[in-house]
Protein backbone atom coordinates (compact mmCIF):
# COMPACT_ATOMS: atom_id res chain seq x y z
CA UNK A 1 0.00 0.00 0.00
CA UNK A 2 1.25 3.48 -0.92
CA UNK A 3 2.48 5.41 2.10
CA UNK A 4 0.21 8.33 2.95
CA UNK A 5 1.75 11.80 3.08
CA UNK A 6 0.88 13.57 6.32
CA UNK A 7 1.83 16.82 4.59
CA UNK A 8 -1.51 16.64 2.75
CA UNK A 9 -4.72 18.31 3.93
CA UNK A 10 -7.23 17.28 1.24
CA UNK A 11 -10.31 19.08 2.60
CA UNK A 12 -8.40 22.32 3.07
CA UNK A 13 -6.85 21.96 -0.39
CA UNK A 14 -10.27 21.38 -2.00
CA UNK A 15 -11.72 24.43 -0.22
CA UNK A 16 -8.87 26.61 -1.45
CA UNK A 17 -9.49 25.40 -5.00
CA UNK A 18 -13.21 26.11 -4.60
CA UNK A 19 -12.49 29.63 -3.36
CA UNK A 20 -10.16 30.37 -6.28
CA UNK A 21 -12.80 29.24 -8.80
CA UNK A 22 -15.24 31.96 -7.65
CA UNK A 23 -18.26 29.65 -8.04
CA UNK A 24 -21.65 31.40 -8.24
CA UNK A 25 -23.78 29.99 -5.37
CA UNK A 26 -27.39 28.96 -5.94
CA UNK A 27 -27.31 26.60 -2.97
CA UNK A 28 -27.22 26.92 0.79
CA UNK A 29 -26.06 28.49 3.11
CA UNK A 30 -28.22 31.51 2.48
CA UNK A 31 -25.65 34.13 3.40
CA UNK A 32 -24.06 33.48 -0.06
CA UNK A 33 -20.39 33.76 0.90
CA UNK A 34 -21.29 36.46 3.40
CA UNK A 35 -22.93 38.93 0.99
CA UNK A 36 -26.26 38.61 2.77
CA UNK A 37 -24.85 39.09 6.26
CA UNK A 38 -22.17 41.81 6.40
CA UNK A 39 -22.07 41.77 10.22
CA UNK A 40 -21.06 38.10 10.09
CA UNK A 41 -18.28 38.95 7.64
CA UNK A 42 -17.18 41.72 9.98
CA UNK A 43 -16.96 39.26 12.86
CA UNK A 44 -15.38 36.27 11.11
CA UNK A 45 -13.73 37.77 8.04
CA UNK A 46 -14.43 37.29 4.34
CA UNK A 47 -11.98 34.44 3.93
CA UNK A 48 -13.67 32.42 6.67
CA UNK A 49 -17.26 33.07 5.59
CA UNK A 50 -16.45 32.36 1.93
CA UNK A 51 -15.64 28.73 2.74
CA UNK A 52 -18.70 28.17 4.93
CA UNK A 53 -20.28 26.08 2.19
CA UNK A 54 -22.56 23.11 1.65
CA UNK A 55 -21.65 19.60 0.50
CA UNK A 56 -21.09 19.38 -3.28
CA UNK A 57 -19.27 17.02 -5.61
CA UNK A 58 -15.84 18.73 -5.43
CA UNK A 59 -16.06 18.89 -1.62
CA UNK A 60 -17.50 15.41 -0.94
CA UNK A 61 -20.23 14.53 1.58
CA UNK A 62 -19.66 13.78 5.26
CA UNK A 63 -22.50 11.22 5.39
CA UNK A 64 -21.04 9.12 2.56
CA UNK A 65 -17.52 10.29 1.71
CA UNK A 66 -15.91 9.12 -1.52
CA UNK A 67 -13.22 11.72 -2.26
CA UNK A 68 -11.58 14.48 -0.21
CA UNK A 69 -13.30 13.67 3.10
CA UNK A 70 -12.47 10.00 2.59
CA UNK A 71 -8.82 10.95 1.99
CA UNK A 72 -8.86 13.06 5.16
CA UNK A 73 -10.24 10.08 7.11
CA UNK A 74 -7.48 7.84 5.78
CA UNK A 75 -4.81 10.35 6.74
CA UNK A 76 -6.30 10.73 10.23
CA UNK A 77 -6.43 6.95 10.72
CA UNK A 78 -2.78 6.72 9.67
CA UNK A 79 -1.75 9.56 12.00
CA UNK A 80 -3.57 8.07 15.01
CA UNK A 81 -2.64 4.43 14.34
CA UNK A 82 -6.30 3.48 13.84
CA UNK A 83 -7.95 1.19 11.33
CA UNK A 84 -10.44 3.93 10.48
CA UNK A 85 -11.16 7.51 11.54
CA UNK A 86 -14.40 9.46 11.31
CA UNK A 87 -14.53 13.25 11.26
CA UNK A 88 -17.09 14.37 13.84
CA UNK A 89 -18.73 17.82 13.82
CA UNK A 90 -20.94 17.28 16.88
CA UNK A 91 -18.08 17.30 19.35
CA UNK A 92 -16.81 14.35 21.33
CA UNK A 93 -20.31 14.10 22.79
CA UNK A 94 -21.52 12.73 19.44
CA UNK A 95 -18.47 10.47 19.16
CA UNK A 96 -19.06 8.98 22.64
CA UNK A 97 -22.72 8.45 21.85
CA UNK A 98 -21.89 6.80 18.53
CA UNK A 99 -19.51 4.40 20.29
CA UNK A 100 -22.18 3.26 22.74
CA UNK A 101 -25.03 3.20 20.22
CA UNK A 102 -22.92 1.12 17.85
CA UNK A 103 -22.55 -1.77 20.28
CA UNK A 104 -25.46 -1.50 22.75
CA UNK A 105 -29.14 -2.09 22.17
CA UNK A 106 -31.99 -2.08 24.70
CA UNK A 107 -31.21 -4.33 27.65
CA UNK A 108 -27.51 -4.79 26.85
CA UNK A 109 -25.10 -4.30 29.74
CA UNK A 110 -22.10 -2.00 29.53
CA UNK A 111 -19.40 -1.82 32.21
CA UNK A 112 -18.19 1.70 32.93
CA UNK A 113 -16.91 3.99 35.68
CA UNK A 114 -19.54 6.29 37.14
CA UNK A 115 -17.33 9.37 36.65
CA UNK A 116 -18.12 9.47 32.94
CA UNK A 117 -19.17 12.53 30.99
CA UNK A 118 -22.93 12.95 30.71
CA UNK A 119 -22.73 12.06 27.00
CA UNK A 120 -22.14 8.41 27.91
CA UNK A 121 -25.22 8.27 30.14
CA UNK A 122 -27.20 10.20 27.52
CA UNK A 123 -26.38 7.43 25.05
CA UNK A 124 -27.87 4.89 27.46
CA UNK A 125 -31.01 7.03 27.69
CA UNK A 126 -31.25 6.76 23.91
CA UNK A 127 -30.53 3.05 23.44
CA UNK A 128 -31.79 1.53 26.70
CA UNK A 129 -28.50 -0.08 27.73
CA UNK A 130 -28.02 -1.11 31.37
CA UNK A 131 -25.02 0.45 33.12
CA UNK A 132 -22.86 -1.75 35.33
CA UNK A 133 -20.92 0.86 37.28
CA UNK A 134 -17.43 0.26 38.57
CA UNK A 135 -16.94 2.85 41.28
CA UNK A 136 -13.65 4.60 40.60
CA UNK A 137 -11.05 4.71 43.32
CA UNK A 138 -10.93 8.03 45.20
CA UNK A 139 -8.00 10.10 46.46
CA UNK A 140 -9.29 11.30 49.84
CA UNK A 141 -6.70 14.04 50.24
CA UNK A 142 -7.48 15.64 46.89
CA UNK A 143 -11.17 14.71 46.87
CA UNK A 144 -10.99 13.51 43.26
CA UNK A 145 -12.17 10.35 41.56
CA UNK A 146 -9.42 8.29 39.95
CA UNK A 147 -9.40 5.42 37.48
CA UNK A 148 -10.83 1.92 37.82
CA UNK A 149 -8.87 -0.72 39.72
CA UNK A 150 -7.99 -3.82 37.68
CA UNK A 151 -9.57 -6.11 40.27
CA UNK A 152 -12.81 -4.13 40.20
CA UNK A 153 -13.02 -4.35 36.41
CA UNK A 154 -12.28 -8.08 36.52
CA UNK A 155 -14.99 -8.57 39.16
CA UNK A 156 -17.52 -6.67 37.06
CA UNK A 157 -16.66 -8.77 34.00
CA UNK A 158 -16.97 -12.04 35.97
CA UNK A 159 -20.29 -11.00 37.50
CA UNK A 160 -21.66 -9.77 34.17
CA UNK A 161 -20.38 -12.16 31.50
CA UNK A 162 -23.20 -11.02 29.19
CA UNK A 163 -21.95 -7.42 29.12
CA UNK A 164 -21.13 -6.28 25.59
CA UNK A 165 -18.51 -3.63 26.31
CA UNK A 166 -16.24 -1.93 28.83
CA UNK A 167 -16.01 1.87 28.73
CA UNK A 168 -12.87 3.67 30.00
CA UNK A 169 -11.83 7.31 30.54
CA UNK A 170 -8.29 7.87 29.22
CA UNK A 171 -7.46 10.17 30.96
CA UNK A 172 -9.92 11.68 33.45
CA UNK A 173 -10.32 15.46 33.49
CA UNK A 174 -7.58 15.57 36.14
CA UNK A 175 -5.12 13.53 34.04
CA UNK A 176 -5.52 10.14 35.75
CA UNK A 177 -5.26 6.98 33.63
CA UNK A 178 -6.38 3.45 34.45
CA UNK A 179 -4.32 0.42 33.32
CA UNK A 180 -5.81 0.53 29.83
CA UNK A 181 -3.77 -2.33 28.33
CA UNK A 182 -4.80 -4.67 31.16
CA UNK A 183 -8.47 -3.68 30.85
CA UNK A 184 -8.40 -4.28 27.08
CA UNK A 185 -6.87 -7.70 27.65
CA UNK A 186 -9.50 -8.63 30.26
CA UNK A 187 -12.39 -7.41 28.13
CA UNK A 188 -11.24 -9.06 24.93
CA UNK A 189 -10.61 -12.35 26.73
CA UNK A 190 -14.29 -12.29 27.63
CA UNK A 191 -15.59 -11.26 24.21
CA UNK A 192 -16.30 -7.64 25.16
CA UNK A 193 -15.47 -4.52 23.18
CA UNK A 194 -13.47 -1.67 24.75
CA UNK A 195 -14.70 1.89 24.23
CA UNK A 196 -12.45 4.75 25.30
CA UNK A 197 -13.35 8.37 26.00
CA UNK A 198 -10.17 10.25 25.09
CA UNK A 199 -11.70 13.71 25.16
CA UNK A 200 -8.60 14.86 27.04
CA UNK A 201 -6.04 12.53 25.46
CA UNK A 202 -5.47 13.71 21.88
CA UNK A 203 -1.82 14.41 22.64
CA UNK A 204 -1.21 10.80 23.74
CA UNK A 205 -1.03 9.90 20.04
CA UNK A 206 1.71 12.36 19.18
CA UNK A 207 3.80 13.14 22.26
CA UNK A 208 6.55 11.02 23.77
CA UNK A 209 6.67 9.75 27.37
CA UNK A 210 2.90 10.16 27.71
CA UNK A 211 0.33 7.55 28.81
CA UNK A 212 -0.63 4.91 26.26
CA UNK A 213 -3.30 5.86 23.73
CA UNK A 214 -6.45 3.80 23.19
CA UNK A 215 -5.43 2.59 19.74
CA UNK A 216 -1.93 1.63 20.92
CA UNK A 217 -3.53 -0.30 23.81
CA UNK A 218 -5.71 -2.31 21.40
CA UNK A 219 -9.08 -0.66 22.15
CA UNK A 220 -11.91 -1.06 19.66
CA UNK A 221 -13.28 2.50 19.60
CA UNK A 222 -11.98 5.83 20.86
CA UNK A 223 -13.46 9.33 20.92
CA UNK A 224 -10.81 12.03 20.59
CA UNK A 225 -11.47 15.74 21.26
CA UNK A 226 -9.22 17.25 18.64
CA UNK A 227 -10.49 20.70 19.65
CA UNK A 228 -9.17 20.37 23.21
CA UNK A 229 -5.45 19.63 23.15
CA UNK A 230 -5.23 19.14 19.37
CA UNK A 231 -5.83 22.69 18.20
CA UNK A 232 -8.87 22.33 15.91
CA UNK A 233 -12.03 24.44 16.13
CA UNK A 234 -14.45 23.89 19.00
CA UNK A 235 -16.94 21.07 18.34
CA UNK A 236 -14.63 19.09 16.02
CA UNK A 237 -13.46 15.61 17.02
CA UNK A 238 -12.41 12.22 15.72
CA UNK A 239 -13.95 8.81 16.29
CA UNK A 240 -11.29 6.12 15.86
CA UNK A 241 -11.82 2.40 15.32
CA UNK A 242 -9.65 -0.65 15.82
CA UNK A 243 -9.16 -3.45 13.31
CA UNK A 244 -12.03 -5.64 14.57
CA UNK A 245 -14.76 -3.03 14.11
CA UNK A 246 -16.92 -2.73 11.00
CA UNK A 247 -16.56 0.91 9.85
CA UNK A 248 -19.65 0.68 7.64
CA UNK A 249 -21.78 -0.07 10.69
CA UNK A 250 -20.19 2.78 12.65
CA UNK A 251 -20.94 5.17 9.77
CA UNK A 252 -24.61 4.14 9.85
CA UNK A 253 -24.78 4.80 13.60
CA UNK A 254 -23.07 8.20 13.25
CA UNK A 255 -25.57 9.14 10.53
CA UNK A 256 -28.49 8.46 12.88
CA UNK A 257 -27.73 11.61 14.86
CA UNK A 258 -24.98 13.66 13.19
CA UNK A 259 -25.96 16.54 10.93
CA UNK A 260 -26.20 16.02 7.18
CA UNK A 261 -24.82 19.57 6.80
CA UNK A 262 -21.35 19.13 8.20
CA UNK A 263 -19.51 22.46 8.66
CA UNK A 264 -16.53 22.74 6.33
CA UNK A 265 -14.97 25.17 8.80
CA UNK A 266 -14.92 22.35 11.36
CA UNK A 267 -13.91 19.67 8.83
CA UNK A 268 -11.03 21.71 7.44
CA UNK A 269 -9.87 22.55 10.96
CA UNK A 270 -9.67 18.82 11.72
CA UNK A 271 -7.73 18.26 8.52
CA UNK A 272 -5.25 21.07 9.16
CA UNK A 273 -4.83 20.24 12.85
CA UNK A 274 -4.19 16.57 12.13
CA UNK A 275 -1.47 17.61 9.66
CA UNK A 276 0.04 19.97 12.22
CA UNK A 277 0.22 17.30 14.94
CA UNK A 278 1.47 14.60 12.59
CA UNK A 279 4.32 16.85 11.46
CA UNK A 280 5.07 18.80 14.66
CA UNK A 281 3.16 17.15 17.50
CA UNK A 282 6.05 15.42 19.22
CA UNK A 283 8.02 18.64 19.56
CA UNK A 284 4.92 20.67 20.49
CA UNK A 285 3.80 18.37 23.29
CA UNK A 286 7.31 18.05 24.66
CA UNK A 287 7.17 21.81 25.16
CA UNK A 288 3.72 21.56 26.81
CA UNK A 289 5.01 18.88 29.21
CA UNK A 290 8.00 21.06 30.13
CA UNK A 291 5.76 24.08 30.63
CA UNK A 292 3.44 22.12 32.93
CA UNK A 293 6.41 20.83 34.95
CA UNK A 294 7.69 24.39 35.38
CA UNK A 295 4.23 25.58 36.43
CA UNK A 296 3.81 22.79 39.01
CA UNK A 297 7.20 23.57 40.53
CA UNK A 298 6.47 27.30 40.77
CA UNK A 299 2.94 26.85 42.15
CA UNK A 300 4.04 24.32 44.76
CA UNK A 301 6.77 26.75 45.84
CA UNK A 302 4.05 29.27 46.77
CA UNK A 303 2.91 26.99 49.57
CA UNK A 304 -0.57 25.66 50.49
CA UNK A 305 -1.45 24.95 46.84
CA UNK A 306 -0.73 21.44 45.59
CA UNK A 307 -0.18 21.08 41.86
CA UNK A 308 -0.07 17.31 41.64
CA UNK A 309 1.78 15.22 39.08
CA UNK A 310 3.22 11.77 38.48
CA UNK A 311 4.15 11.34 42.15
CA UNK A 312 0.52 10.28 42.79
CA UNK A 313 0.83 7.21 40.49
CA UNK A 314 -0.01 4.02 42.42
CA UNK A 315 0.28 1.42 39.65
CA UNK A 316 -3.43 0.60 39.54
CA UNK A 317 -6.24 3.17 39.83
CA UNK A 318 -3.62 5.78 38.94
CA UNK A 319 -1.69 3.58 36.55
CA UNK A 320 -0.32 6.62 34.77
CA UNK A 321 -0.72 10.39 34.84
CA UNK A 322 -0.83 12.94 32.02
CA UNK A 323 2.11 15.28 32.74
CA UNK A 324 0.60 18.05 30.59
CA UNK A 325 -2.25 18.48 33.08
CA UNK A 326 -2.00 21.36 35.54
CA UNK A 327 -4.45 20.30 38.25
CA UNK A 328 -4.16 22.26 41.50
CA UNK A 329 -5.63 21.43 44.92
CA UNK A 330 -6.84 24.62 46.65
CA UNK A 331 -8.48 23.63 49.95
CA UNK A 332 -5.41 24.40 52.05
CA UNK A 333 -5.86 28.12 51.33
CA UNK A 334 -9.42 27.79 52.61
CA UNK A 335 -11.08 28.23 49.21
CA UNK A 336 -13.00 25.82 47.02
CA UNK A 337 -11.63 25.40 43.53
CA UNK A 338 -14.67 27.15 42.07
CA UNK A 339 -14.00 30.16 44.32
CA UNK A 340 -10.43 30.39 43.03
CA UNK A 341 -11.80 30.02 39.49
CA UNK A 342 -14.15 32.97 40.00
CA UNK A 343 -11.52 35.20 41.62
CA UNK A 344 -8.99 34.52 38.85
CA UNK A 345 -11.56 35.45 36.22
CA UNK A 346 -13.12 38.45 37.96
CA UNK A 347 -10.02 40.08 39.46
CA UNK A 348 -7.07 38.84 37.39
CA UNK A 349 -8.64 38.36 33.93
CA UNK A 350 -7.45 34.76 33.86
CA UNK A 351 -9.85 32.14 32.49
CA UNK A 352 -9.04 28.62 33.65
CA UNK A 353 -10.81 25.45 32.52
CA UNK A 354 -12.80 24.67 35.64
CA UNK A 355 -12.97 24.64 39.39
CA UNK A 356 -14.75 22.07 41.54
CA UNK A 357 -15.07 21.88 45.31
CA UNK A 358 -11.39 21.27 45.98
CA UNK A 359 -9.39 21.75 42.78
CA UNK A 360 -8.85 23.86 39.70
CA UNK A 361 -7.59 22.83 36.26
CA UNK A 362 -5.55 25.18 34.11
CA UNK A 363 -5.58 23.62 30.64
CA UNK A 364 -2.18 23.82 28.94
CA UNK A 365 -1.72 23.01 25.28
CA UNK A 366 0.13 23.90 22.11
CA UNK A 367 -0.94 27.56 22.17
CA UNK A 368 0.44 28.39 25.63
CA UNK A 369 3.61 30.33 26.36
CA UNK A 370 5.70 30.77 29.48
CA UNK A 371 4.56 34.39 29.96
CA UNK A 372 0.93 33.28 30.50
CA UNK A 373 2.02 30.59 32.96
CA UNK A 374 4.07 33.15 34.90
CA UNK A 375 1.04 35.42 35.03
CA UNK A 376 -1.03 32.56 36.47
CA UNK A 377 1.62 31.75 39.08
CA UNK A 378 1.85 35.42 40.13
CA UNK A 379 -1.94 35.66 40.38
CA UNK A 380 -2.19 32.52 42.52
CA UNK A 381 0.48 33.84 44.90
CA UNK A 382 -1.33 37.17 45.22
CA UNK A 383 -4.71 35.47 45.58
CA UNK A 384 -3.40 33.36 48.46
CA UNK A 385 -1.99 36.46 50.19
CA UNK A 386 -5.31 38.30 49.91
CA UNK A 387 -7.88 35.57 50.45
CA UNK A 388 -6.38 32.73 52.50
CA UNK A 389 -8.59 31.61 55.40
CA UNK A 390 -9.26 28.64 57.66
CA UNK A 391 -10.49 25.62 55.73
CA UNK A 392 -12.62 24.26 58.61
CA UNK A 393 -16.01 22.98 57.50
CA UNK A 394 -15.17 22.77 53.81
CA UNK A 395 -16.53 19.88 51.77
CA UNK A 396 -13.88 18.16 49.70
CA UNK A 397 -15.33 14.95 48.29
CA UNK A 398 -15.86 15.17 44.54
CA UNK A 399 -17.21 11.66 43.94
CA UNK A 400 -20.41 10.25 45.45
CA UNK A 401 -21.16 6.55 44.99
CA UNK A 402 -24.56 6.39 43.26
CA UNK A 403 -27.53 4.27 44.30
CA UNK A 404 -28.75 2.95 40.95
CA UNK A 405 -32.39 1.89 41.00
CA UNK A 406 -33.28 1.58 37.31
CA UNK A 407 -31.87 2.17 33.82
CA UNK A 408 -31.29 5.71 32.55
CA UNK A 409 -33.80 5.20 29.74
CA UNK A 410 -36.63 3.78 31.86
CA UNK A 411 -36.34 6.58 34.41
CA UNK A 412 -35.86 9.39 31.90
CA UNK A 413 -39.07 8.52 30.06
CA UNK A 414 -41.09 7.47 33.13
CA UNK A 415 -44.09 9.32 34.57
CA UNK A 416 -42.52 12.02 36.74
CA UNK A 417 -43.28 14.93 39.01
CA UNK A 418 -41.41 18.08 39.99
CA UNK A 419 -40.64 18.53 43.69
CA UNK A 420 -38.67 21.07 45.76
CA UNK A 421 -35.08 19.87 46.14
CA UNK A 422 -35.33 18.94 49.83
CA UNK A 423 -38.50 16.91 49.24
CA UNK A 424 -36.82 14.57 46.74
CA UNK A 425 -34.87 12.62 49.40
CA UNK A 426 -35.32 8.87 48.80
CA UNK A 427 -36.92 9.37 45.39
CA UNK A 428 -35.60 8.23 42.01
CA UNK A 429 -34.25 11.07 39.87
CA UNK A 430 -35.34 11.26 36.23
CA UNK A 431 -32.92 13.93 35.02
CA UNK A 432 -29.29 15.01 35.34
CA UNK A 433 -27.63 17.33 37.85
CA UNK A 434 -24.00 18.27 37.30
CA UNK A 435 -21.39 20.95 37.53
CA UNK A 436 -20.24 21.96 34.06
CA UNK A 437 -17.44 21.70 33.38
CA UNK A 438 -16.48 18.90 33.86
CA UNK A 439 -19.94 17.55 33.02
CA UNK A 440 -19.77 14.45 35.23
CA UNK A 441 -23.26 13.95 36.70
CA UNK A 442 -23.77 14.25 40.46
CA UNK A 443 -27.14 12.64 39.79
CA UNK A 444 -28.19 10.74 36.67
CA UNK A 445 -31.59 9.37 35.63
CA UNK A 446 -32.41 6.20 37.57
CA UNK A 447 -30.41 7.07 40.69
CA UNK A 448 -31.75 7.62 44.19
CA UNK A 449 -31.57 11.09 45.70
CA UNK A 450 -29.66 10.72 48.97
CA UNK A 451 -28.75 13.09 51.81
CA UNK A 452 -25.15 13.11 50.59
CA UNK A 453 -26.24 14.11 47.07
CA UNK A 454 -28.51 16.88 48.38
CA UNK A 455 -25.77 18.25 50.65
CA UNK A 456 -23.37 18.28 47.70
CA UNK A 457 -25.82 20.11 45.41
CA UNK A 458 -26.62 22.78 48.03
CA UNK A 459 -22.93 23.27 48.90
CA UNK A 460 -21.85 23.44 45.25
CA UNK A 461 -24.53 26.04 44.52
CA UNK A 462 -23.42 28.12 47.51
CA UNK A 463 -19.82 28.03 46.35
CA UNK A 464 -20.79 29.19 42.86
CA UNK A 465 -20.48 26.05 40.77
CA UNK A 466 -22.18 26.29 37.39
CA UNK A 467 -24.96 23.73 37.87
CA UNK A 468 -26.71 22.33 34.82
CA UNK A 469 -29.02 19.49 33.82
CA UNK A 470 -32.47 19.83 35.40
CA UNK A 471 -35.49 21.42 33.75
CA UNK A 472 -35.53 23.95 36.59
CA UNK A 473 -32.71 26.32 35.70
CA UNK A 474 -32.39 27.51 39.31
CA UNK A 475 -31.88 23.91 40.52
CA UNK A 476 -34.47 24.48 43.24
CA UNK A 477 -36.67 21.60 42.03
CA UNK A 478 -35.95 18.14 40.65
CA UNK A 479 -37.94 15.81 38.43
CA UNK A 480 -38.40 12.45 40.18
CA UNK A 481 -40.44 9.38 39.36
CA UNK A 482 -44.04 9.77 40.42
CA UNK A 483 -44.84 7.79 43.57
CA UNK A 484 -42.46 6.11 46.01
CA UNK A 485 -40.31 3.32 44.55
CA UNK A 486 -40.17 -0.02 46.32
Per-residue pLDDT tens over the stretch 61-80: 999 999 999 999 999 999 99
Question: Three-state SS for 154?
Answer: helix
CA-CA distances (angstroms) from residue 320 to 67, 248, 281? 40, 34, 21
Contact present, 192 and 164 (Cβ < 8 Å): yes
Q: Predicted confidence band at 486 (pLDDT cuts at 50, 70, 90)?
A: very low
Please check whether the two domains, 281-387 and 408-481, share a CATH topology.
Answer: no
Residue 484: predicted pLDDT: 61
- Give the per-residue pLDDT at 401: 87
Please report the pLDDT score of residue 392 as a whole number: 86
pTM for this predicted structure: 0.95
Write the CATH number of the domain with boundaries 281-387: 3.90.1150.10
Predicted pLDDT of residue 1 = 54
Contacts of 47 (CB under 8 A, 6+ apart): 19
The domain spans of the chain are 60-278, 281-387, 408-481
The per-residue pLDDT of the chain, averaged, comes to: 95
pLDDT digits (tens, 9 = 90+) for 320-372: 999 999 999 999 999 999 999 999 999 999 999 999 999 999 999 999 999 99
| 144-145/477-481 β-pairing | unpaired
Share of the chain above pLDDT 70, in %: 99
CB atoms near residue 298 (< 10 Å)? 18
Which CATH number applies to 60-278: 3.40.640.10, 3.30.70.141, 3.20.20.70, 2.60.40.1170? 3.40.640.10
Alpha helices by DSSP H, 194-336: 226-229, 247-257, 264-302
Mean pLDDT over residues 232-237, rounded? 97
**CATH class given for the domain over 408-481:** alpha beta
pLDDT category at 3 given cuts 50, 70, 90 is confident
pLDDT tens profile 291-332: 999 999 999 999 999 999 999 999 999 999 999 999 999 999
Share of the chain above pLDDT 90, in %: 90
Amino acid sequence: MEKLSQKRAPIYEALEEFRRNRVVPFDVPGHKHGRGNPELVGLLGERCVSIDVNSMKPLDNLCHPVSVIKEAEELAADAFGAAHAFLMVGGTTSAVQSMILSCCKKGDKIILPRNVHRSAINAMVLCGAKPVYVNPDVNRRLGISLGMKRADVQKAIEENPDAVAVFVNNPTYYGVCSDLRAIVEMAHANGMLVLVDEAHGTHFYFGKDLPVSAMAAGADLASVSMHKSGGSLTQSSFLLTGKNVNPGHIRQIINLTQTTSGSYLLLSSLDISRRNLALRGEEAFRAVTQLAAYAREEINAIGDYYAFGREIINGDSIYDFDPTKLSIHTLDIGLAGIEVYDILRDEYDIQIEFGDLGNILAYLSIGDRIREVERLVTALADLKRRYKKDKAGMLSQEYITPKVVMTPQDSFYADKESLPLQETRGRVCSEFVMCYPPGIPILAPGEEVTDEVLDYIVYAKEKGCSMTGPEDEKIERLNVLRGKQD
